[in-house]
Structure 1
């Protein structure tokens, strides 16, 4: 086992960074085959929602659902950091809510949300997890911000959004995200 204090060689860090940059580029291009090829087994953990998308079909469905809601979704990279087993990326995620997001109808509002993603690699340098952290309320506040609450149609849309949110809430968090153990320090 490699020490958690030892960084891999520079060529390994550069290869990881290239893979992550390719992953980001292919997501924006909606090239799902290329994006999924960066993993031997696709696995996303969306911490704000406490949801795991595991396997090719589950991750493809995640892409389909999020791009239906935000077809123009793209990133503005802020920074890259390396750890002994991960590339940590800070970025802005941007998009316009023009399609349904689960049971939440489109609002037409845009968002620019700061996020952090951990791209975690195994001992064979395979990407095994993309773990994403963000403030879900920040996204929601921005996408409903453009609804004109002075008009009856705006109030109706806001009510539909709230109903959709309530219909999607209350699910149990994925136990793979809650059943954690403290590290051996």
Structure 2
């Protein structure tokens, strides 16, 4: 791919349709349809430096996030095309009604601004969804609903902090830290 030349309009329109279908199918939790947008499902979550690769891992990721946020949905802010990707800026919204990893449910909503890069290969296959967001933004909103003046709220807060701490310190996925700089041929 020439990094200075956008694909033909028909290619950009096809990518856009695929990405919008992907977003729609995620919201209605039609995992078969969502996964069909990839020949091989692959998510990279940059904030946590984790990768979900393959059908089983991505389905587990979907299930875990929808247990935590059963009403998860989004509001698209901006949609951009690049040589090899569609870049979507959006708000992710949801109410934490179930555990998020080891963080117990808070009952609090969140609205978090994110970017997702939907990366296509030279055959126009979607090969990666790479998501950028700030975990602290989500956590701050989830904690906002905990009543810190009541003993039960303090107990919940302690469980949340324990859950957050147990999720830190893991090794980042090597696929996200072992990168190769682009070759800028002049």
Q: CA shift at 1:114, angstroms?
A: 0.2
Which digits, 9 at most, give the CA deviation of each residue in 1:25-54, with x for residues without a partner?
000000000000000000000000000000
What residue in structure 2 maps to residue 103 of structure 1?
A: 102
What residue in structure 2 maps to residue 155 of structure 1?
A: 154
Question: Using the alignment, how far apart are the partners of 2:147 and 2:104 within structure 1?
Answer: 15
Question: Using the alignment, how far apart are the partners of 2:54 and 2:28 within structure 1?
Answer: 21
Question: Using the alignment, how far apart are the partners of 1:146 and 1:38 within structure 2?
Answer: 36
**Structure 2 unaligned regions, length at least 5:** none
What residue in structure 1 maps to residue 28 of structure 2?
A: 29
* Secondary structure in structure 2 of the residue aligned to 1:108: coil
Q: CA shift at 1:168, angstroms?
A: 1.0
Q: CA shift at 1:107, angstroms?
A: 0.4
Q: CA shift at 1:126, angstroms?
A: 0.2
What residue in structure 2 maps to residue 112 of structure 1?
A: 111
What residue in structure 1 maps to residue 60 of structure 2?
A: 61
Are 1:15 and 2:10 counterparts? no
What residue in structure 2 maps to residue 85 of structure 1?
A: 84
What residue in structure 1 maps to residue 183 of structure 2?
A: 184
Q: CA shift at 1:83, angstroms?
A: 0.4
| TM-score (normalizing by structure 2) | 0.98
Q: CA shift at 1:162, angstroms?
A: 0.3
**Structure 1 unaligned regions, length at least 5:** none
What residue in structure 2 maps to residue 145 of structure 1?
A: 144
Question: Using the alignment, how far apart are the partners of 2:180 and 2:10 within structure 1?
Answer: 32
Which digits, 9 at most, give the CA deviation of each residue in 1:127-165, with x for residues without a partner?
000000000000000011010000000000000000001
Q: What CA RMSD, in Å, does the superposition of the two structures yield over aligned residues?
A: 0.4
| TM-score (normalizing by structure 1) | 0.99
What residue in structure 2 maps to residue 43 of structure 1?
A: 42
Question: Using the alignment, how far apart are the partners of 1:150 and 1:66 within structure 2?
Answer: 29
Question: Using the alignment, how far apart are the partners of 1:3 and 1:63 within structure 2?
Answer: 34
* Secondary structure in structure 2 of the residue aligned to 1:101: coil
Q: CA shift at 1:181, angstroms?
A: 1.2
Question: Using the alignment, how far apart are the partners of 1:165 and 1:105 within structure 2?
Answer: 10
